[in-house]
Chain A
Amino acid sequence: MSLALIAALPFLGALTPALTQRFGRGIATATVALFSAAALLLILQHVPAIMAGQTITTQINWLPTLGLNANFRLDGLALLFALLILGIGLLIQIYARFYLDTSEPYARFLTYLMLFQGAMLGIVLSDNILLLLVFWEMTSLSSFLLIGFWSHLPKARQGARMALATTGAGGLAMIAGLLMLGHVAGGYDLSTILGERAAIQASPLYVPALLLILLGAFTKSAQFPFHYWLPHAMAAPTPVSAYLHSATMVKAGLFLLARLWPVLAGTPEWFWIVTSAGLITMSFAAGVALFKDDLKAILAYSTVSHLGLITFLLGLGTKAAATAAVFHILCHATFKAALFMLAGIVDHATHTRDIRALGGLRRAMPISFALASIATLSMAGIPPLNGFLSKEMMLEEAAHTAPWVIPVLATFAALLSVAYALRFLVYTFLGQAPAYAHAPHDPGAGLWLPPAILAALVVAIGLAPMAMAGWLVDAAASATTGEAVHAHIALWHGLQPPALWMSLAAVGGALVVLGLYPALRAAWDGAHKPDAKAMFDAGMGWLTKTATALTQGLHNGSLSRGFAVGLCSFLALGLYAYLSAPTLPGTRALTQISFAPVVAFGLLMTAALAATALHRKRLLALLLTGIVGLILSASFAYLSAPDLALTQITVEVVTIALMLLALNFLPKTTPRKTAGFRKLRDGGLAVAVGTGVAALAYTLMTREAMFPPISAFHLAQSLPGAGGHNAVNTIIVDFRGYDTYGEIIVLGIAALLIFALTESLLGTRWAVQPDHAAGDEGDAHPVMLQTATRLILPMAMLVGVYLFLRGHNEPGGGFVAGLVFAIGLVLQYIASGQDWAAARRRIPYHAMIGAGVLVASATGIGSFLAGRPFLTSNFTHGHLPPLKDFELATAALFDLGVFLCVLGAVMLALDALARLAKPQEGR
């Protein structure tokens, strides 16, 4: 539980700024810092166990069927990263408190920062790789928010988008890779995967999985050729850069490489891909950094270079190299975070980050100068600082690796990094001070203290590496390699190691490079360089254009187009299914046919075809559609479905009333203007789909079900289980009562929607005068009709009650009863008018819908009282002398809810349309 709590703490902290911001920035910062500090303390409490070689785990089942569990683990590697994330996170919180201007939405910044911290902590603590993926995506999203924090700046927005697009795309690839990995390993928990090295490397999926995972890691850790997003992400506020781009987010990719090192590393594929990516990135980015003038840009390219260095070490695949990698992760985080903060301080003091406009700050800002010297020299790899130690280890490993190009390139990269580091320091703090608009001075302790702490660490680790960091490096390297590692880190190894000579060569070379800098710079400025941003924009532009073209081609907003495209794909899929699999022979005997059904179905098809052919005459087409419905009802009766027959008959009547109400407004004919080609195309498509559906229906009907249908249960249990003879009704109100419950709610919502739309239509100006039918012959409300319909109403209600009451045992039920009532009422509307009917209506239809849903809900909840699940029905046999024995089922109460809802919905819809049809004043 403890680990899950640790992972949750930053997220909980993310909730607080919204509440605490009113108490000022100090309180808000202190509150979130409290959460980070608590997490840090809880982590530290596990340190002794981890030093003893243990791995702390917490298991929470989340979706065990998918292999997705909220399992957490804390081992040496996770410990190293967790300390960096939380430790530097705390320093960043303090720094940001003093860095950000009072006018900025500070609470939002803290929330984003804590979200990011939680996501990052989640990555390193995850034991389940699916869980890791979830956190991985969260870092992409929260870093997007942080990079784009100054959303009023176009550069910030573009940088954020670029970072999100790149790391997001890599994340997608990584999802596929990790799924493959889990598939091969037979589980998604790291504890499972890490033990399956042989199986994973022997699998044919190894190379694709490796490539996809590397794609994810390289995009996140800005490896060449995906490095371009990191310099553009410098548009973020400096605390964000210091946090995300030195210590945390960009290290997530490296963390993943280290995490999966035991199972993925050691193969030639791994060696060549990872090593060369790292080496190229390391030297290339160091070269670019030398020619940048923006302080943060230099640091960004330097970061890319150092990430390449670590990638290179992990790629070598040896224990010693992995140890060096882990150590450099720690060293780089300390000096680089400090440098970013110092760049922010310089920016604050001088209002520029351009190195050419800076200089001579050593006098004005002595504290900053001291801290920057320590951090920069460490970055350059000058003894006795920690950067020297890890760089020595790197060079030592490179020296022992064939072919010769590797040590040469490594030395070259080291040379360049010395050069840009010195340039960074010299141009900013030494030399002549230009005329600054405001005299620069050292900031308050809030700003310089966080980098000072880091600089102190840089020196301390450099002077006493074994005491300060040896234990952590041992633990992390052991966890990375899966074997016990005891690193020996020291400043002086004697004169034999080649690394010493390579370092010296690097320093000497750097001085030469700086000496030749003006000439080199001229050559660099003159050279043609590919612009990553332009390329990225062009790529994104192409993607957007293609996506738009595809979407427009498939669905340009035209209903007919979208529908036709959908039908074509159905047709193609159906054909593919038909052609690609054998069809079983029909085993079911055909049902005997007789004369009347042939005539009836012939009539049905004729009516349908005629309605289609004559659809321009809308009233006639409606009449013909009515015939289709009529014959369909009779067919249901003939095909042993009396309930369906009843429902279809009644729905048919209300549908026709509805359509006639609509037709009252709409034009009575459709103009004939469609192109012949279009008719042919639509006709062809319709015939093709119709033929397919007919063939499918025939095939279905002539084969027995593959598996015994579940309705055997319904038939068997209808009487003993639900107390009803009508199996259809027991399914509706009992077995599948939940479905029906949803169904009536949907119906009610549809009716309310119609009501709302009518209300809004009544309130707007109409563009056309409704095309009311010409005729106004005869009475509006003929007496004959009025008298007859008023007699019919009680009869209709009687039939409705009858159908309702017997519904559980014979055809009928709430749906039909509601519709019969509705028809009786509609008849009053037709005969006597809306005003007359509305004046006599006691219960509003909304209330009826509401009551229906409430009654159904109450019945469902009632079964809780009996200690059974929602909508469990119960029944008993009643006995009332003049009547036969009858069942009293709670399902009947549910059916009452159905009845009320159906009645209310139908009437609300028709009533709304009728009100629309009334002549309105001033329209």
Chain B
Amino acid sequence: MLTYALTFAIACFALALILNLWRLATAPTMPDRILTVDTMVINIIALIVLYGAKAQSAVSFDAALLLAMTGFVSTVAFCKFLLRGGIIE
């Protein structure tokens, strides 16, 4: 049962990635695109965790943890760039 649930969840997040792509292509402004990439990071985190659960291995959870902790740094940097030009002032 859990296997089905995991497969379904993985499929959903994969679908979410496709939607991200759609949004990336059609987004009207740069901030929208940055937000899309941020969402993409979340989806990737979910996929890593789900695949780990499916394989019954916690080895790749660190990657998810690290992605969660540092993924937003790029977003912050991009936003700062758009707002201020320099990311370190």
Q: In the complex, are there CB atoms of A and B closer than 8 Å?
A: yes
Interface 9-residue window, one of A262-270, A423-431, A823-831: A823-831
Say yes or no: A661-B44 contact (C-beta < 8 A), given A596-B13, A626-B74, A795-B69.
Answer: no
**With A596-B11, A781-B89, A834-B89 in contact, do A642 and B63 touch (Cβ < 8 Å)?**
yes
Given A627-B37, A630-B44, decide whether A833 and B65 contact each other with a Cβ distance below 8 A: no
Query: Are the CB atoms of B62 and A830 closer together than 8 Å?
Result: no
If A657-B77, A827-B73 touch, does A664 touch B87 (CB 8 Å cutoff)? yes
User: B28 to chain A: which residues have CB within 8 Å?
Assistant: none
Task: List which A794-844 residues lie within 8 A (CB) of chain B.
Answer: 795-796, 799, 803, 810-812, 816, 820, 823, 826-827, 829-830, 833-834
Q: Is there contact, CB below 8 Å, between B74 and A652? A: yes
> B79 to nearest A CB, angstroms?
9
Q: Is A649 an interface residue (CB 8 A)?
A: yes
CA A656 to CA B79, docked complex, whole Å: 12
Contact check, B89 vs A780: say whether CB atoms are below 8 A apart: yes
Is B21 an interface residue, CB under 8 A from the partner? yes
CB A906 to nearest CB in B, in angstroms, measures: 13
Q: Within 8 Å of chain B (Cβ to Cβ): is A653?
A: yes
A775 surroundings in chain B (CB, below 8 A) = 82-85
Q: Are A830 and B87 in contact (CB under 8 A)?
A: yes
Q: In whole angstroms, what is the CA distance A777 to B82 when docked?
A: 9
In the complex, A285 has a CB within 8 A of chain B: no
A800 to chain B, nearest CB (A): 10
Minimum CB distance partner of B18 in chain A: A599
Interface contacts (Cβ under 8 Å), in number, total: 167
Provide the A587-630 mask, 1 if CB < 8 A to any CB of B, else 0: 00000001110011001001000000000000110010011001
How far does the alpha carbon of A630 sit from the alpha carbon of B14 in the complex, in Å?
Answer: 15
Residues of B within 8 Å of A637, CB to CB, are 48, 51, 60, 63-64
CB distance A661 to B14 under 8 Å? Answer: no
> What is the CA–CA distance of A56 and B87 in the complex, to the nearest angstrom?
77
Q: Is residue A104 within 8 Å, beta carbon to beta carbon, of the partner chain?
A: no
- Contact A595-B62, Cβ < 8 Å, known A623-B37, A823-B70: no
Q: Are B48 and A660 in contact (CB under 8 A)?
A: no
Structural contact, B10 and A773, CB atoms closer than 8 A: no
B86 & A827 in contact (Cβ 8 Å cutoff): no
Is A519's beta carbon under 8 Å from chain B? no
User: Is A914 close to B, CB under 8 A?
Assistant: yes
In the bound assembly, the distance between CA atoms of A543 and B36 in angstroms comes to 61
Q: Are B69 and A799 in contact (CB under 8 A)?
A: yes
Bound-state CA distance A826–B88 (Å) is 9
**B47, A776: Cβ atoms closer than 8 Å:** no
Could you give, for residues 20-60 of chain B, a 1 whenever the CB lies within 8 Å of some chain A CB and a 0 otherwise?
11000000001001100100110010011001000000011
* Measured CA separation A594–B9 after assembly (Å): 13
Task: Judge whether A898 is part of the interface by a CB distance below 8 angstroms.
Answer: no
Judge whether A650 is part of the interface by a CB distance below 8 angstroms: yes
Report the separation of the CA atoms of residues A636 and B78 in the bound assembly, to the nearest whole angstrom. Answer: 25
Most buried by A among B11, B17, B44, B62: B62
Q: Which residues of B contact A209 (CB under 8 A)?
A: none
Residues of B contacting A660 in the complex (Cβ-Cβ under 8 angstroms): 77-78, 81, 87
A664 touches B85 (CB 8 A): yes
B81 to A, closest residue via Cβ = A660
Assess whether A124 is interfacial by the CB under 8 Å rule: no
Residues in chain B near residue A603, CB distance under 8 A = 17-18, 20-21, 40
- Residue of A626, A638, A778, A913 near B83 (CB, 8 A) is A778
Residues A623 and B10 in contact, CB atoms below 8 Å apart: no
Query: Mostly helix, strand, loop or mixed at chain B's interface?
Result: helix
What are the residues of chain A within 8 A of B89 when measuring CB–CB? Answer: 780-781, 833-834, 917-918
Q: Encode contact with B along A660-688: 1 for CB under 8 Å, 0 otherwise.
A: 11011000000000000000000000000
- A472 CB to closest chain B CB, in angstroms? 82
Chain A, interface size category, equals 35 or more
Q: Does A772 contact B (CB under 8 A)?
A: yes
Q: Does A372 contact B (CB under 8 A)?
A: no
Q: Which chain A residue lies CB-closest to B21?
A: A603
Taking the complex as formed, is A774 at the interface, i.e. its CB lies under 8 A from any CB of chain B? yes
C-alpha gap A214/B53 in the complex (Å): 77
Residue among B10, B34, B47 making CB contact with A634, cutoff 8 Å: B47
- Judging by beta carbons under 8 Å apart, are B14 and A623 in contact? no
Residues on the B chain within 8 Å of A620, using CB: 30, 33
Q: Are A623 and B63 in contact (CB under 8 A)?
A: no
With known contacts A664-B87, A827-B76, A646–B47 Cβ distance under 8 A? no
CA–CA, A918 and B70, complex, Å:
25
Q: Are A630 and B41 in contact (CB under 8 A)?
A: yes
List chain A residues, Cβ under 8 A from B15.
Answer: 599
Q: In the complex the two chains form, is B44's CB within 8 Å of A646's CB?
A: no
In the complex, chain A residues whose CB is within 8 Å of the CB of B83: 775-778
Taking a contact as CB atoms under 8 Å apart, the answer to whether B17 and A599 are in contact is: yes
Instruction: Report yes or no: A623 in contact with B69, Cβ–Cβ below 8 A.
Output: no
For the complex, is A633 an interface residue (Cβ under 8 Å from B)? yes
Q: Is the CB of A650 within 8 A of B63?
A: no
Q: Which residues of B contact A645 (CB under 8 A)?
A: 48, 60, 63
Residue B2 is within 8 A (CB to CB) of chain A in the complex: no
Q: Do A630 and B11 form a contact, CB below 8 Å, given A600-B17, A785-B76?
A: no
Kindly list chain A residues whose C-beta atoms are within 8 Å of the C-beta of B10: 594-596
Q: Which residues of A contact B82 (CB under 8 A)?
A: 619, 773, 775
Is the pair A627, B40 in contact by a Cβ cutoff of 8 Å? yes
> Known: A626-B37, A830-B80. Is A772-B85 also a contact (CB below 8 A)?
yes
Q: Which residues of A contact B41 (CB under 8 A)?
A: 630
B86 surroundings in chain A (CB, below 8 A) = 661, 664, 772-773, 917
Q: How far is the CA of A869 from the CA of B39 in the complex (A)?
A: 51
CB-based contact B62/A803 at 8 Å: yes
Shortest distance in angstroms between A919's beta carbon and chain B's nearest beta carbon? 9
Give CA–CA (A910, B88) in the complex, Å: 9
Nearest neighbor of A915 in chain B, beta-carbon distance: B88
Shortest beta-carbon distance, A726 to chain B, in Å? 10
B41: nearest chain-A partner, CB-CB? A630
Contact status B76-A661, CB under 8 Å: no
**Contacting pair B84 A631 (CB below 8 A):** no
On chain A, the residues within 8 Å of B1 by CB distance are none
* Residue in chain A with minimal CB distance to B76: A830
CB distance from A688 to the nearest CB of B (A): 28
| A642 and B80 alpha carbons, distance in the complex (Å) | 31
Residues on B with C-beta less than 8 A from A823 are 70, 73
A600: nearest residue on chain B (CB-CB)? B17
Q: Which of A599, A646, A653, A834 contacts B74 (CB 8 A)?
A: A653
Find chain A residues with CB under 8 A from B40 CB.
603, 627, 630
B66 lies within 8 A of chain A by Cβ = yes
Residue in contact with A596 in the complex, picked from B14, B33, B71, B81, CB distance below 8 Å? B14
A829 / chain B contacts, CB cutoff of 8 Å: 88
Whole-angstrom distance between the alpha carbons of A111 and B14 in the complex?
77
Assess whether A820 is in contact with B14, with CB atoms less than 8 Å apart. no
Known: A595-B10, A803-B62, A913-B88. 17 other contacts (CB 8 A): A596-B14, A599-B15, A606-B21, A638-B51, A649-B67, A650-B70, A657-B87, A663-B81, A664-B85, A773-B84, A773-B86, A776-B83, A777-B84, A810-B62, A816-B66, A829-B88, A833-B89
Can you spell out 28 A-B residue pairs with CB atoms less than 8 angstroms apart?
Answer: A596-B11, A603-B17, A603-B18, A603-B20, A620-B30, A620-B33, A623-B34, A630-B41, A634-B48, A636-B63, A637-B51, A637-B63, A638-B60, A642-B63, A646-B66, A649-B70, A650-B66, A656-B74, A657-B77, A660-B78, A661-B86, A772-B86, A773-B84, A796-B69, A811-B62, A829-B88, A830-B73, A917-B86
Interface residues in chain A, defined as those with a beta carbon under 8 Å from any beta carbon in chain B: 594-596, 599-600, 603, 606, 619-620, 623, 626-627, 630-631, 633-634, 636-638, 642, 645-646, 649-650, 652-653, 656-657, 660-661, 663-664, 772-778, 780-781, 785, 792, 795-796, 799, 803, 810-812, 816, 820, 823, 826-827, 829-830, 833-834, 910, 913-914, 917-918
- By a beta-carbon cutoff of 8 Å, the part of chain B in contact with chain A is 10-11, 13-15, 17-18, 20-21, 30, 33-34, 37, 40-41, 44, 47-48, 51, 59-60, 62-67, 69-71, 73-74, 76-78, 80-89
User: Nearest 7 A-B pairs (CB), nearest first?
Assistant: A773-B85, A914-B88, A645-B63, A596-B14, A637-B60, A599-B14, A637-B63
